Amino acid sequence: MLVKRAEQAMLRAKTTALKFVGLTPAQYVALYELDAQPGITAATLARLCLVSPQAMMILLKSMEQQGLITRSFHPRHPNVLELHMTDAGREALHAARQRVEPMETEVFGAFSPKELIAFREYLSRFAEAFEKG
């Protein structure tokens, strides 16, 4: 329950911070990944965001309607749609980062450098144990 409590606290804080920018946490993560990998497909973005392809399509439709992203055909593969952030999407991501990154810095600042290394190691092992099934 401790991990769930921490996850919920993080989600509440980020949801509140992102509300001022007009983004949801899911939109923030999608824009964050698109910034790192412009031109990726919806399927790749869904995997990176840990959601189903169907959920990603719903998210992308709303983001496209908000003018945050565009979809265009790949120049060599006409059946593949690439995703790109618009200027509005970049502005929203920048504004969101200004609200989220200080929060993350403050949270990680609660740990000494040594504790942070151990925390990351423990969290990685925790996730790997679940992934092994």
Residue 132: pLDDT band with limits 50, 70, 90: confident
CATH class name, domain 2-132? mainly alpha
User: pLDDT tens digit string along 30-82?
Assistant: 999 999 999 999 999 999 999 999 999 999 999 999 999 999 877 777 777 89
Residue 39 · residue 85 · CB < 8 Å: no
Kindly state the tokens that stand for 19: 């509300």
Residue type (1 letter), 81: L
- What is the crossing angle of helices 2-19 and 25-36, to 10°? 80
